[in-house]
């Protein structure tokens, strides 16, 4: 009953907004956000200076045993995949080519999400092993995530106000083209295993440069002096120990 009421409400909102179905409304709405819903909503056009993701302020929210966001995403993956596959078969049942394209896009998206989740978790752990605190490690990961989705946004930004009621073919073509360009960016990230993608590499390089500490050139001299003092102390200690043994022998 609740599901049917929600579905009816979604259809009503879609019609009110001028969309033929709730599917069209969801697709159009997705082009207006920088991040997926689970990462929170960024400010207008993504112009904000936040160090963290809006909806994931700490690494513990991402990876915290069975309650972490990464585990929740993976648990829901099959349900969402089944829902999308069912919708595709229903909507494109008389259009085999369009149906196959949609299925291919879903498959590629699943591959991207799984690899992306693994990369984020691994990167978060790696920065901690390098000596960074949890907060600093998650800050670096958030910068990388923001850059990845900023690149994706650049491919779909042109579709935000493309809807033309008088020419739906034009609207559809623009949305499909933007979607395929987005998949191209996703594919590049997967092929480079994210970490080796130029966009990600530049974020890591800038962070390492910002946190670089120039070695002290006089450190070797200082170490040598300390070692010399320790050696002198050891010599005196050996001498005192020999004198003590000599006195104890006489007594």
What one-character-per-residue DSSP string does 80-94 give?
HHHHHHHHHHHHTTT
Nearest to 69 by CA among 137, 122, 7, 121: 121
Average pLDDT for residues 106-110, to the nearest whole number? 93
Q: What H or E segment, with its residue span, contains residue 96? A: helix 96-129
For 184-188, which contacts have Cβ atoms below 8 Å and span 24 or more sequence positions? 184/155, 185/151, 185/152, 185/155, 186/108, 186/109, 186/112, 186/152, 187/108, 187/112
What is the reported pLDDT for 181? 92
Please compute Rg for the chain using Cα positions. Answer: 29
Lowest average pLDDT, out of 76-85, 112-121, 185-194, 219-228, goes to 219-228
pLDDT tens digits, one per residue of 118-152: 999 999 999 999 888 999 999 999 999 999 999 99
User: How far is residue 120 from each of residues 14, 77, 109, measured CA to CA in Å?
Assistant: 35, 17, 16
Query: Is the CB of residue 69 less than 8 Å from the CB of residue 53?
Result: no
Query: Is the CB of residue 146 less than 8 Å from the CB of residue 199?
Result: no
Average pLDDT for residues 48-56, to the nearest whole number? 78
Model confidence band, residue 6 (pLDDT cutoffs 50, 70, 90): very low
**pLDDT averaged over every residue in the chain:** 81
**Local structure of 101: helix, strand or coil:** helix
User: How far is residue 57 from each of residues 52, 119, 135, 240, measured CA to CA in Å?
Assistant: 5, 18, 9, 61
Query: Is the CB of residue 134 less than 8 Å from the CB of residue 128?
Result: yes
Q: Which residue has the higher pLDDT, 61 or 221?
A: 61
Give me the residue label for tokens 């080519």. Answer: 97
Q: Above 90 in pLDDT, residue 9?
A: no
CB atoms within 10 A of CB 186: 22
Query: Is the CB of residue 188 less than 8 Å from the CB of residue 169?
Result: no
User: How far is residue 239 from each of residues 183, 243, 249, measured CA to CA in Å?
Assistant: 77, 6, 16
Query: Is the CB of residue 146 less than 8 Å from the CB of residue 200?
Result: no
What is the reported pLDDT for 122? 93
Whole-prediction pTM: 0.73
Average pLDDT for residues 97-102, to the nearest whole number? 92
CA 161/CA 166 separation, integer angstroms: 14
């Amino acid at each position: 009953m609740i599901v049917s009421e929600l579905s009816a409400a979604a259809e009503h909102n879609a019609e009110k907004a001028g969309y033929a179905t709730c599917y069209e409304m969801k697709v159009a709405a997705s082009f207006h956000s920088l991040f997926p819903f689970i990462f929170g909503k960024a400010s207008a056009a993504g112009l904000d200076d936040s160090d963290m993701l809006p909806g994931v302020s700490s690494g513990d929210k991402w990876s915290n045993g069975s309650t972490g966001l990464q585990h929740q995403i993976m648990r829901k993956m099959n349900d969402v995949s089944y829902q999308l596959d069912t919708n595709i078969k229903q909507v494109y049942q008389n259009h085999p080519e369009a149906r196959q394209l949609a299925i291919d896009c879903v498959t590629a998206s699943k591959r991207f999400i799984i690899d992306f989740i693994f990369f984020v978790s691994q990167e978060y752990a790696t920065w901690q092993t390098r000596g960074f605190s949890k907060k600093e490690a998650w800050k670096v990961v958030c910068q990388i995530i923001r850059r990845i989705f900023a690149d994706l946004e650049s491919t779909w930004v042109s579709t935000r106000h493309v809807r033309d009621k008088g020419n739906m073919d034009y609207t559809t073509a623009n949305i499909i083209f933007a979607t395929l360009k987005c998949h191209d960016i996703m594919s590049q990230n997967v092929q480079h295993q994210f970490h080796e993608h130029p966009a990600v590499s530049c974020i890591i390089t800038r962070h390492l440069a910002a946190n670089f500490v120039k070695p002290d050139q006089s450190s070797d001299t200082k170490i040598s002096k300390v070692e010399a003092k320790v050696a002198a102390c050891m010599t005196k200690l050996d001498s005192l120990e020999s004198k003590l043994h000599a006195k104890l022998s006489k007594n």
